[in-house]
């Protein structure tokens, strides 16, 4: 796909065009980080074992293709190498001399045992940025522990702070720890690349799901540092402000966000409740929060007489932050998201009419984000060994015969 766009000012490139990344990651956090970079033009080579990334077999499936793999590995090329073979490791050592970045999410110590650890690869390319994504980081007493999203949600305080006050700690309805780690990893990769370009020296970047999730919990961390108290479960309301949460209407629920007296007055006047404007119980954000049950009863006395659409229209006209509660279909298919172009049509003979998300930031001085389907397992093995390393077709066939590249079927499908 051509990633430059001609304009009257000349061709425009993608922001990361020319950056070469060797991607050893699998499942979610690591692949998401490199997908975000690939969206913006980085050449991402996904190096997979002969059996492929585990996510290739995780549902939901359509026409034999995994939804999760397809989304997290868009805009990448797949190279199959069996790193148990010394010749496969030697190929990595050759490729890394041309790379700008290596990203891996093995458990600490595994990359070193495979011969592709940061010390070895950076000795071959001192400018290399080597990004390690793991559950608990490369250091500390828990560094050796495996981690999935639910484990980190449980240990970070996120789960304990989520749910109804009298209910059980609740898992957030998204793999938030994986996603946050992926976001921090992509950001950290770019920061390290900038330093490498300035100084000529790369480095290892250590990204931990546990650390990044705690950083993500910005309000919980802030409250603890100033009060010494952990966040408590408050259900569908803000722990410190009111009215700030989910409320009932006649035909469903809506979300309301009121953070100051001006908005509070606008809210109650729009609801034909002028007597609440001067009620001392609701004079400040702090007193409104302390008296949240009585305030909720007063507001819902009005909202339960109206449909969600009417409540939202009335409050929106008054300048109050308010919203219906949408499902993912309503959000993705909304006119707003269609106008913003978050979903991009992608050509894929395996999945007709495929759309994939792209990174969400708009850059007005570069070409549009790339939109290329995820690769088949080993699809680009021969091409990459030829274009990056100059291997002949005979040499590639010999490597495959020796088991270095997995089976011939892996390269064809």
* Active centre residues (catalytic): 238
* CA–CA distance, 84 with 96 (Å, rounded to integer): 18
Backbone region of residue 140 per phi and psi (left: phi > 0; alpha: psi in -120 to 50; beta: other values): left
Question: How many helices (H) and strands (E) in the chain?
Answer: 18, 15
* CA–CA distance, 354 with 227 (Å, rounded to integer): 49
| Cβ burial, residue 390 (10 Å; 0-12/13-18/19+) | exposed
Exposure on the CB side of residue 9, measured as CA atoms within 13 A: 5
Helices (H), 217-361: 218-227, 261-270, 285-290, 292-303, 308-317, 328-332, 335-340
**Among the listed residues 325, 326, 357, 329, the one whose alpha carbon sits nearest the alpha carbon of residue 341:** 357
Cβ-based neighbours of 233, under 8 Å, separated by 6 or more: 160, 161, 162, 163, 164, 165, 167, 169, 170
Pairing of strands 101-104, 20-23: parallel
DSSP-based three-state secondary structure for 245: strand
**Among the listed residues 119, 72, 116, the one whose alpha carbon sits nearest the alpha carbon of residue 95:** 116
DSSP-based three-state secondary structure for 86: helix
């Amino acid at each position: 796909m051509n990633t430059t766009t001609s304009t009257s000012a000349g061709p425009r490139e993608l922001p990361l065009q020319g950056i070469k990344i060797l991607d050893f990651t699998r499942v979610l956090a690591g692949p998401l980080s490199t997908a975000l970079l690939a969206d913006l033009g980085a050449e991402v080579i996904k190096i997979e074992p002969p059996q492929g990334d585990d996510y290739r077999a995780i549902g939901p499936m359509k026409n034999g293709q995994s939804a999760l793999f397809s989304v997290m590995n868009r805009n990448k090329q797949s190279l199959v190498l069996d790193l148990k073979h010394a010749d496969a490791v030697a190929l990595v050592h050759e490729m890394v001399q041309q790379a700008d970045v290596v990203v891996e999410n093995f458990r600490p110590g595994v990359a070193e045992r495979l011969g592709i650890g940061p010390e070895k690869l950076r000795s071959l390319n001192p400018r290399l940025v080597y990004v390690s994504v793991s559950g608990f980081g490369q250091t500390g007493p828990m560094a050796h522990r495996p981690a999935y999203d639910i484990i980190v949600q449980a240990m970070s305080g996120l789960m304990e702070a989520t749910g109804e006050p009298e209910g059980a700690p609740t898992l957030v309805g998204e793999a938030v720890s994986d996603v946050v780690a992926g976001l921090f990893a992509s950001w950290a990769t770019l920061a390290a690349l900038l330093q490498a370009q300035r100084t000529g020296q790369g480095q290892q970047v250590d990204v931990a799901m546990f650390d990044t999730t705690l950083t993500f919990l910005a309000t919980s961390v802030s409250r603890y540092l100033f009060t010494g108290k952990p966040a408590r479960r408050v259900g569908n309301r803000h722990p410190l402000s009111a009215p700030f949460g989910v409320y009932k209407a006649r035909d469903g629920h809506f979300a309301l966000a009121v953070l100051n007296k001006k908005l509070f007055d606008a809210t109650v006047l729009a609801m034909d409740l002028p007597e609440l404007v001067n009620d001392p119980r609701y004079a400040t954000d702090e007193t409104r929060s302390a008296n949240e049950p009585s305030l909720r009863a007063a507001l819902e006395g009005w909202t339960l007489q109206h449909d969600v659409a009417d409540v939202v229209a009335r409050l929106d006209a008054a300048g109050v932050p308010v919203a219906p509660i949408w499902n993912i279909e309503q959000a993705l298919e909304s006119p707003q998201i269609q106008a913003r172009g978050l979903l991009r049509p992608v050509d894929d003979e395996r999945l007709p009419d495929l759309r994939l998300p792209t990174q969400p930031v708009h850059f007005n001085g570069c070409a549009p984000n790339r939109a290329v389907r995820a690769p088949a397992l080993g699809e680009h093995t021969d091409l990459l060994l030829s274009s990056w390393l100059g291997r002949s077709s005979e040499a590639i066939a010999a490597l495959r015969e020796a088991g270095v590249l997995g089976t011939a079927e892996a390269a064809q499908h």
